[in-house]
Structure 1
Amino acid sequence: MTQSLIEALQNPALYPHPVEGFEVIETHISWVLLTGQYAYKLKKPVNFGFLDFSSREAREHFCHEELRLNQRTAPDIYLEVLPVTGSLEAPQLGGNGPVLDHVLKMRQFPQSGLLSNVLARGELMPAHIDALAREIADLHAEAKRVPIEHVLGSAEAVMAPVRQNFEQIRPLLEDAADLTQLEHLEAWAEDTFTRLQPLLDQRKGDGFIRECHGDIHLANVTLLDDHVLLFDCIEFNEPFRLIDVVSDAAFLAMDLEDRGLKSLSRRFINAYLELTGDYQGLTLLPFYKAYRAMVRAKISLFRLAQEQDPVERVVILRQYRNYAALAESYSAIPTRFLAITHGVSAVGKSHVAMRLVEAFGAIRLRSDVERKRLFPTADEAELYSSAATQATYSHLHQQAAAILLAGFPVVLDATYLKQAQRQAAHAVAEQTGVPFLILDCQAPEAVIVAWLAERQAEGRDPSDATLEVIRAQEAGREPLSDVEQSHSGRIATHEAASLDSLIERIRSHLPGF
C-alpha cells in the first residue's frame, strides 16, 4: 500500500506549490519525496524492535514527534505534518475523508550543504565547529530533563546498551585477534563502569539526563542560509534520546576523530564546555566516546553478515577494526600537564591556549568566561573587584585540579600577572603530579592595540578589557622570577613560527604526543 501511495503522490496537481520534478530517496525506514522546494517524508510500515512504525497510528505519532523534536534546532526545515486522505487512486494532501497515512512536510535543501559533504570538498572550517558547539549547547540547555523516577538515565540503564554491544558483536567475529581485542575492551568498559557508577547516578540526580538529539554526526548537520543547523533527531526510540548530554556530545567528538579530525574534535569539546560549564562531564567523555565507537563497529558487522562479495567483506571488516581501534584508544592512559598563560589582555593568549587544545587535547579554562559564570549578575565594578578576581583564580585552580584528575591536560587562559596567582597554579600542578608550564605571551603594543580594536569591533569576545586597562596591567605586572623562568616558554604571539616552535618543544619533552 505504501509503495503504491508513493507512486500516486508523484502528481504535481496534488501540491499547492510549483513542482520541479519528483525524486524518491528510500532508506530502510522511510521514503522522502523531493519536489524541488519541499520534501515529503513518509514512514515505512516496519517493525525492527527498536523502532515500530507498523500501524498508521504509530506513524502519525512519530511524524508529530519528529516535527516537535527537530523544530528545536531546525524550525526552518521541519514545517508541518499533513494527513494523506482520499484513496490510493486519488490521494489528497491535507484533505477530508479517510486518512491513508501521514507525511512530514520539510523544506528541501541541497545535499551539498551537509557538513559531511562540506568536509569532502575540503571546506569545513573551525568556525563551523564553533557554531555547531553553540547549537548543541543551546539544545541541551533548553532540553527537558528526565525525571529522577524515570528508569532511563540510571547507571544500570547507561551500561545496558554497552554490554549489549559486546554480546551482539562477539558471535560475528572469527579472528582470534579481534576476539582478544573485544575481551580487553569489554573488561575496560566494566572496570570503567564500576569506577564511574556513582557519578553516573549523580548525573541523573543533577539533571544531566535530558531529551537530547541522539544522533549527532556531520551528516546530520547542514549549512542553510549561512547558518549551521542540526537536524534528523532520533524520534523513534526514547532510550536513544533520553541520555546524558555528554553522551550526546561524545557522538560528534567520536565522529570527528573517526574522520581524522582530532584537532576539530578537541576544539568542539572545549567550545561546548566553555558554553555549558559542564566540566564534570569530562570524566565520562572517554567512556561515552568508546561506547559510540562500538555502536558504529557493531553496525559494520551487521552489514558484514549480510554481504557475500569477498572484496566488500574485507572493506567492512576493516571498517569494524578501525572503529574498534578508535574505541581502544579511549582506554589509553593520557599524558597530562598544566599550562598557564602570562600576559596582558589582547596579547593573543587565547589563540596560544587554543593551539594547545588542538595539538594536545588540553582543556582550556578562560578567566573571562569563568568570572562571568561565577558572577552572572554583578556590575562591572563588582565583576573586576579584587575579591571577584581572587575568587575567579581560585575557581580556575579548583576546576583545573578536577580536570587533571579526570585525565586531561589543562591550559588556564588568564593574565597571571601576579606572582601569587602563578604560585597557586604551580601548587595545583605539584599536588596532581603533572608538569607545569608558563606560556609567556609577548607582542608589540601596536599589535596589541590593533588586536584589541579588532576584538571590540567583532563584539564577541568575553573580555571587557580596554586600552586603559591593558596599560594599567602592564604597569602593575610582576615579572617572572628565576624559578618561574625555568618553567616558562616565551611566545611572540604575532609571529606564527614562535608558537609553532613552542608546540614542538612541548611535544618533544612530553611522552604520548
Structure 2
Amino acid sequence: MPHSSAAARDDNENLESLVDSLVAYHRLPQAAVKDVDPTRPLAQMAKEELAAIREGLLDEEECLRLDQLGEWLEQDLVRLKPLLEGRRERVVTSWALVHPDSRLRHEGRTLLVNAIGRDPAAPGSALPADPASDLAALLVGLEARRESALTRLALDRYLRLSGDYPQARLLSLFGTCHALSGARRALQRRPAPGQDPEHPARLAESMAECRYYLSLAERIAEFRFPPLVIAVGVSGSGKSRFTSGLVSRLGAIRVCSDAERRRLHQLPQDKTYPQAQAVPPAVGIFGEVATERTYRHLASCAGTLLDAGIPACVDATCLKRWQRDLLRQQAEARGLPCLMVSFEADEATLRRRIEKRARRLSVEVANSLALLDHQLAERECFGDEERLNLVHLDTTADNAAETLADLIEEHVKLV
C-alpha cells in the first residue's frame, strides 16, 4: 500500500491539520485492500468487545443494557450492509496504524494519542475498514474527553473537505464500537485485589470510566430527530459567518453551496470563484443548469445527514421558491423539523460588506455590486406555507449570533 514519507510522519497535530491529514489519507489509492469484506471489522469488533465487557460486569441491569447495545449493533449492521458493500472500494488501513506516535494537541494539552485516539489493540483494528471507522474513533475520543465543540468542528470540517456525506450514516455504527473499546480498556485497568493499597478508589474510578463509555455508546446509538436549517439571503447578508457558529454550539453540519458547486465541477476547493468574476465558459458553474444541479446535490447531501441523525444547515442564497421547496422537502419527507432563516441587512450594509469582500478577493467591486443588485431584483418573496417555518434575523444587531442560536433552539427543540 503506497504511503509517502510525509504522510507517515508522526507529529503533534492540531485539529485542523489532523482532519486535513485524514481527508488526504483516505483519498490515497488503497489497491492492496480492495477484496476484503467491509463488514468483517465491525462484526469482529462488536462481538469481541461485547464479550470482553460482559466478563467484567457484575450488575444485572448493566448486562441487560449491554445486551440491548449488542442487539442494536447486530440490527444496524444488517441495515447498513448494502451501504458498506457499496463503499467496498473505499476501505483503508487505519490512519492510526500509519501514525502510531502522533498526538492531537489543543491549547497546550495532549488530547489523543495516535492523534485519532484509536485503540490499536481493539479486535479487528488491523483489518482494512471504511474511512468512517477512523473518523468515528476521532469523534468518540474527543467526546470522551468532554470536548463536544471540537467533536462538532472535526465532523463539519471532514465532511466539507471530503464531500463524503454518505459516510455520516456509518458513524453511529462505528462510533458505538469504538465507545465499547473504551469501556473494555477501562475494565482492563482495574487493579487486582490485594495488590494495590488504593484498590477501592482505583476500582471505583475504572468502573466509573467504563460506565461513562457505555453511556456514550448508548447516546451514539440513540435514535434522533435532527432538524434542517435553511439559510436564505443575498450576498453579504452574513449567512456563512453566522451559520458557522451553529457548528460548535448546536452540532449542525453545514452544506455550503460554494464548496459543493466547486466539487461538482471538479474545481479546487481552496480557490474562490465569485459569481461576479469572469469564469471560463467551459466551466459555467453559475449557469441555470449548473445551479439546478447544485441545489439538487445540496438537497441530497442534507437528506443524507438527516438520515444519519445529524442536524443539517444548508448555506446557499436560496432566492427562488423552487430552491427552498426542494430543500424543505428533505425534512418534511422524513417527518423532521425544518426552519428557514432569512438573513437580512439594510442595503447600505450589504454594499459595504460586498465592497470589502471584493477587495479582499481582488474582484472588481462594480461587478460584485451588480451581482447584488441582480440578486435583490430576482429574489422571490416567501409564500404563506414557507412563513410557517420562517424566522428573520437582522445580522447588523450586536447579538445576532446568540439570537440565531436561540431562535433555532426554540423552533426545532434541538437541545
State the distance in 1 between where 2:152 and 2:80 align: 22
Give the structure 1 partner of residue 5 of structure 2: 71
Give the structure 2 partner of residue 257 of structure 1: 143
Give the drift of 1:239: 4.0
1:95-134 to 2 correspondences below 5 Å: 128-134=14-20
Residues 1:333 and 1:239: Cα distance change in structure 2 (over 3 Å):
closer
Give the drift of 1:317: 1.0
Give the drift of 1:158: 2.5
1:156-235 to 2 correspondences below 5 Å: 156-204=40-88, 207-214=89-96, 220-222=103-105
Give the structure 1 partner of residue 383 of structure 2: 481
Out of 314, 338, 346, the position equivalent to 1:436 is 338
Give the structure 2 partner of residue 21 of structure 1: none
Give the drift of 1:74: 5.8
Which has more strand, going by share of residues? Answer: 1
- Deviation string 1:2-60 (CA, Å, 9 cap, x unpaired) is xxxxxxxxxxxxxxxxxxxxxxxxxxxxxxxxxxxxxxxxxxxxxxxxxxxxxxxxxxx
Give the structure 2 partner of residue 109 of structure 1: none
Point out the more displaced range, 320-329 or 360-369. Answer: 360-369
- Deviation string 1:57-95 (CA, Å, 9 cap, x unpaired) is xxxxxxxx9xx96834364x68xxxxxxxxxxxxxxxxx
State the distance in 1 between where 2:3 and 2:34 align: 21
- Structure 1 unaligned runs (5+)? 1-64, 79-113, 116-127, 224-228
State the distance in 2 between where 1:230 and 1:168 align: 23
Q: Which has the larger radius of gyration?
A: 1
State the distance in 1 between where 2:410 and 2:169 align: 27
Q: Identity of counterpart residues, as a percentage? A: 27
Does residue 248 (structure 1) correspond to residue 134 (structure 2)? The answer is: yes
- Deviation string 1:381-425 (CA, Å, 9 cap, x unpaired) is 411111101111111122222332232222111000112211222
TM-score by length of 1: 0.68
Out of 452, 468, 478, the position equivalent to 2:370 is 468
| Contact 2:139 2:155 survives alignment (8 Å) | yes
| Contact 2:92 2:128 survives alignment (8 Å) | yes
State the distance in 1 between where 2:297 and 2:115 align: 38
| Contact 2:254 2:314 survives alignment (8 Å) | yes
Residues 1:348 and 1:287: Cα distance change in structure 2 (over 3 Å):
same
Does residue 310 (structure 1) correspond to residue 200 (structure 2)? The answer is: yes
Point out the more displaced range, 437-446 or 313-322. Answer: 437-446
Does residue 297 (structure 1) correspond to residue 180 (structure 2)? The answer is: no
State the distance in 1 between where 2:53 and 2:161 align: 37
Higher relative contact order (Cα pairs below 8 Å, separated by 6+ residues):
2
Give the drift of 1:272: 0.5
Out of 317, 333, 354, the position equivalent to 2:223 is 333
Give the structure 2 partner of residue 346 of structure 1: 236
- Structure 2 unaligned runs (5+)? 107-111, 268-272, 274-278
| Contact 1:335 1:510 survives alignment (8 Å) | no
| Contact 1:336 1:409 survives alignment (8 Å) | yes
| Contact 2:132 2:171 survives alignment (8 Å) | yes
- Deviation string 1:123-151 (CA, Å, 9 cap, x unpaired) is xxxxx53343222211211252453323x
Does residue 410 (structure 1) correspond to residue 312 (structure 2)? The answer is: yes
Give the drift of 1:285: 0.5
SS in 2 for 1:240: coil
Point out the more displaced range, 129-138 or 447-456. Answer: 447-456
Give the drift of 1:428: 2.7
1:419-434 to 2 correspondences below 5 Å: 419-434=321-336
State the distance in 1 between where 2:203 and 2:328 align: 53
Residues 1:230 and 1:468: Cα distance change in structure 2 (over 3 Å):
farther
Look up the equivalent residue of 1:346 and give its one-letter code. Answer: G
SS in 2 for 1:439: strand
Report the count of equivalent residues. 387
Give the structure 2 partner of residue 17 of structure 1: none
| Contact 2:183 2:213 survives alignment (8 Å) | yes
Residues 1:240 and 1:456: Cα distance change in structure 2 (over 3 Å):
farther
| Contact 1:70 1:231 survives alignment (8 Å) | no
Residues 1:70 and 1:168: Cα distance change in structure 2 (over 3 Å):
farther
1:77-88 to 2 correspondences below 5 Å: none
State the distance in 1 between where 2:114 and 2:368 align: 40
TM-score by length of 2: 0.82
| Contact 1:143 1:212 survives alignment (8 Å) | no
SS in 2 for 1:304: coil
SS in 2 for 1:211: coil
Residues 1:258 and 1:454: Cα distance change in structure 2 (over 3 Å):
farther
Give the drift of 1:181: 2.0
Give the drift of 1:164: 0.4
